[in-house]
A and B are shown apart, each in its own frame.
With several copies, the nearest count.
Chain A
Amino acid sequence: MAKTKCRVVVRSEYCKGCNLCIAYCKKGVLAPSEGLNKAGYHYATPDDEKECTGCRVCVLVCPEVAIEVYGE
């Protein structure tokens, strides 16, 4: 299945730490940041070790258009 490995990027300053992407990513790629962004939120951060399938569910649920998914 996961032939191509994809990569997810969070525009951290736009993220409000709602955690929806984290909740809905089946692959557990995303997690809350330790630190805060300028607005004071624990933004979502991808764990590049985890397998991102490029399904873009995270993009679908993100209210802030803060996620970019890269793939082939």
Chain B
Amino acid sequence: MLVKILFAGSGGQGVLTMGNILGNAAMIEDFHTTYLPAYGAAVRGGTANCTICISDEEIASPVASVPDFVVALNHPSAASFSTRLEPGGQMLYNSDLVGELISRGDITMFPVPANDIAKGIGSERSANMVMLGAFIKLTNVLKVDSIYKSVEYMLGAKKKLVEITNRAVEEGYNGFPFGNGSL
């Protein structure tokens, strides 16, 4: 088993945090895992993305020219990375920030109203974690419990933050799917 996931969004949306939490969770489950932030752009700001590989064997390359899954947090990344998916691949996108997309027949796209849901639990900044929860439910690549543990480990002392973050994961996980996935 080798799964390659690409998280993409704009600079402040916590894309790298999502990736880190997922990779860390994979480590907790004793998978081989790699995390690679995109650092192609010389200057910060604009978009951010990272690739996570999870496997039960050694991972050759942490690069995913053709990922299995894309999780897009905003419109530009949804638009650009949907084209990179494997045929048969799946994309989750933040339907609150993503407008109309040109459809590709050979992939499945799942909308997640992540901002709305995050707002619902009083923390719009946790939209990324809603997406992560939904992603786990969709793919079953890891146990959701491992995500919780990972969040705890990574945010550590900040109890409040851990709580709200995991709450967001849970909302994403339990609520998925949120709508019609085919585009």
Contacts and interface: CB of A to CB of B under 8 A. Distances in A.
Nearest to B97: A36
Contacts, number: 14
B178 to A, nearest CB: 22
Number of contact residues on B: which range applies?
Answer: under 10
Give chain B's interface secondary structure class.
Answer: mixed
Nearest to A35: B99
Give chain A's interface secondary structure class.
Answer: loop
Interface in B9-57: 10, 46-47
A36 B47 CA distance: 14
Contacts of A38: 76
Number of contact residues on A: which range applies?
Answer: under 10
A9 interface: no
A36 B74 CA distance: 10
A35 B74 CA distance: 12
- Most B CB contacts (10 A, CB to CB) among A38, A39, A40 go to A40
Contacts of B99: 35-36
B75 interface: yes
A31 B92 CA distance: 32
A35 B76 CA distance: 12
Contacts of B75: 36, 40
Contacts of B10: 40
A38 B10 CA distance: 12
A37 to B, nearest CB: 9
A35 B10 CA distance: 15
Interface in A25-56: 35-36, 38-40
Contacts of B47: 40
Contacts of A35: 99
Contacts of B74: 36, 40
Nearest to B11: A40
A30 to B, nearest CB: 21
B118 to A, nearest CB: 19
11 contacts: A36-B74, A36-B75, A36-B76, A36-B99, A38-B76, A39-B46, A39-B76, A40-B10, A40-B46, A40-B75, A40-B76
Given A36-B76, A38-B76, A40-B76, 11 more contacts: A35-B99, A36-B74, A36-B75, A36-B99, A39-B46, A39-B76, A40-B10, A40-B46, A40-B47, A40-B74, A40-B75
